[in-house]
C-alpha cells in the first residue's frame, strides 16, 4: 500500500535523528516505531560501529511485545546479516512489526536484502520514501561502500575565466566571504582534508574548519601529499588532529590508507596540480566549483591536464545544485556516470 502523510512526516523525523549519529565507516541511520494509528512509540539512531543499529535502538525503548502490529520507519533498508550486531530485519520480525517503510536500499551484497527477508516473513514493506532527502544525507557513504574507497570531493575556487590565481600567483581572495564560510562548513562535514606540499609551502594553510573566528567542533584530519618536506613550523602541524603525510603521488595508495584509517569522506582542497590529478585518476565523486564574477586572465588555470586531449574525451558532469553565495556561484556536480561494482560495507 502507498505510504501515508504520517509515515512521510515520520521519515523526515527519522532523518533528523540520523544526524545525531557520528560520521564513520557506518552510515548515519535513524528509525521510529509508529503505532497503528500513527503515534510515535519510540525513536532510535545508530551511535557508531559496534552499537545497536537504529531499528534495534528504537525497539529497545519498548516493553516486550510493544512493537506488535506497529510500523517501523527507517532511513536505510534494515540489514540482513550478522556483523558486530545481529540482523535488524530479524529483530523487526521477532518484535512483531507489521510494516516497514524505508528510504534507501542497502547496497551491500551481504547486508542488503533485508526488505526481501521481511516480505518473506509476511511483513508489509515499502521503500523509496523521501529517498532524495536520505541520499543527500548518506550519499557519500553509499559511494564509499560501492567503491570500497573513500568518497572524494574535489573543491576549487576560480575566476569567471577559469583562473585559480592572478599571473603573479596571488589568490586571496578570488571568492567572497559567503563562499569561504560555505567551504569551512563543508570542511567540517569531511573526515579528511587533503592538500599537496606545494599548497603547504606556498600558502601555509591551517586546514581547520572554522565557524567565524572560532574552531568548529568537528575537524577533518589534515593530509599532505608530496615528496617535499613540510616545515616544522608549518601551520598544519598545529592542527587539532595529527596530520598524515604521504611521500608519494600514488593516489590509489593514499585513498586505500585513508580508508584503513577510517577516513571515508575526503575533501581535496589542494591547488590545480592535485585537483587535476584526482580528476584525471577518476577519483572525483563530487566537484565543488566556486565561481567568482572576476576576470584574471593569465596562465594560472584552476585545472591543468586531466587526461582529456580532445572534446570527445571530456569529463561530462551532472550539475546537482547551483547555489548563490553573495556574488559568487557554487556549482555542485558529479560525474555523469560511475563505474565500479558494489563492495561490502561494515553495516
Q: Residue 250: is its pLDDT beyond 50?
A: yes
Tens of pLDDT, residue by residue over 119-141, are 999 999 999 999 989 988 888 88
**Residue 100, C-beta contacts closer than 8 angstroms, at least 6 positions apart:** 71, 72, 74, 78, 92, 115, 118, 123, 124, 125, 126
Of 60, 4, 64, the residue nearest 36 (C-alpha): 4
Tens of pLDDT, residue by residue over 318-331, are 998 999 999 999 99
> Which residue among 55, 77, 90, 269 is the active-site one?
55
For 233-259, letters b (16+ CB in 10 Å) and e give: ebebbebeeebbbbeeeebeebbebbb
Tens of pLDDT, residue by residue over 280-291, are 999 999 999 999
Mean pLDDT calculated for residue range 88-111: 86
Confidence band (pLDDT; 50, 70, 90) for 84?
Answer: low
Strand partners, 286: 153
Domains of the chain: 5-143 (3.40.140.10), 150-335 (3.40.430.10)
Tens of pLDDT, residue by residue over 161-200, are 988 888 877 777 889 999 999 999 999 889 999 999 988 8
Say what the alpha-carbon torsion angle 296, 298, 300, 305 is, to the nearest 10 degrees. Answer: 120
Mean pLDDT calculated for residue range 235-239: 91
Active-site residue, 55 included:
yes
The pLDDT assigned to 85 comes to: 62
Q: What is the pTM of this model?
A: 0.75
Q: Residue 339: is its pLDDT beyond 50?
A: no
Taking all residues of the chain, what is their mean pLDDT, rounded to a whole number? Answer: 87
The pLDDT assigned to 110 comes to: 54
Strand partners, 290: 157, 330
Amino acid at each position: 500500500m502507498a505510504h501515508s502523510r504520517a509515515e512521510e512526516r515520520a521519515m523526515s523525523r527519522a532523518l533528523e535523528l540520523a544526524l545525531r549519529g557520528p560520521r564513520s565507516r557506518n552510515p548515519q541511520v535513524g528509525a521510529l516505531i509508529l503505532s497503528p494509528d500513527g503515534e510515535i512509540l519510540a525513536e532510535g539512531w545508530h551511535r557508531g560501529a559496534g552499537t545497536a543499529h537504529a531499528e534495534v535502538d528504537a525497539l529497545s525503548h519498548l516493553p516486550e511485545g510493544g512493537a506488535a502490529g506497529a510500523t517501523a520507519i527507517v532511513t536505510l533498508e534494515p540489514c540482513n546479516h550478522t556483523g558486530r550486531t545481529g540482523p535488524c530485519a530479524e529483530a523487526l520480525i521477532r518484535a512483531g512489526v507489521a510494516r516497514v517503510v524505508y528510504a534507501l536500499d542497502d547496497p551491500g551484497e551481504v547486508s542488503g536484502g533485508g526488505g526481501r527477508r521481511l516480505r518473506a516473513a509476511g511483513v508489509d514493506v515499502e521503500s523509496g520514501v523521501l529517498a532524495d532527502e536520505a541520499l543527500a544525507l548518506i550519499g557519500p557513504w553509499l559511494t564509499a561502500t560501492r567503491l570500497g574507497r573513500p568518497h572524494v570531493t574535489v573543491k576549487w575556487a576560480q575566476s569567471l575565466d577559469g583562473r585559480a590565481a592572478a599571473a603573479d600567483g596571488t589568490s586571496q581572495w578570488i571568492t567572497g566571504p559567503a563562499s569561504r564560510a560555505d567551504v569551512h562548513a563543508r570542511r567540517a562535514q569531511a573526515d579528511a582534508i587533503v592538500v599537496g606540499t606545494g599548497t603547504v609551502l606556498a600558502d601555509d594553510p591551517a586546514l581547520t574548519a572554522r565557524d567565524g573566528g572560532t574552531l568548529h567542533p568537528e575537524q577533518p584530519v589534515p593530509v599532505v601529499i608530496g615528496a617535499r618536506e613540510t616545515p616544522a613550523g608549518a601551520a598544519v602541524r598545529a592542527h587539532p588532529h595529527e596530520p598524515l603525510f604521504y611521500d608519494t603521488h600514488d593516489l590509489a595508495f593514499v585513498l586505500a590508507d585513508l580508508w584503513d584509517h577510517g577516513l571515508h569522506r575526503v575533501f581535496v582542497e589542494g591547488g590545480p596540480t592535485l585537483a587535476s590529478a584526482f580528476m584525471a585518476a577518476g577519483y572525483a565523486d563530487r566537484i565543488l566549483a566556486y565561481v567568482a564574477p572576476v576576470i584574471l586572465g593569465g596562465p594560472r588555470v584552476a585545472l591543468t591536464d586531466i587526461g582529456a586531449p580532445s572534446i570527445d574525451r571530456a569529463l561530462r558532469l551532472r550539475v546537482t545544485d547551483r547555489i548563490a553565495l553573495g556574488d559568487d556561484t557554487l556549482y555542485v556536480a558529479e560525474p555523469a556516470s560511475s563505474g565500479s561494482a558494489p563492495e561490502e560495507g561494515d553495516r
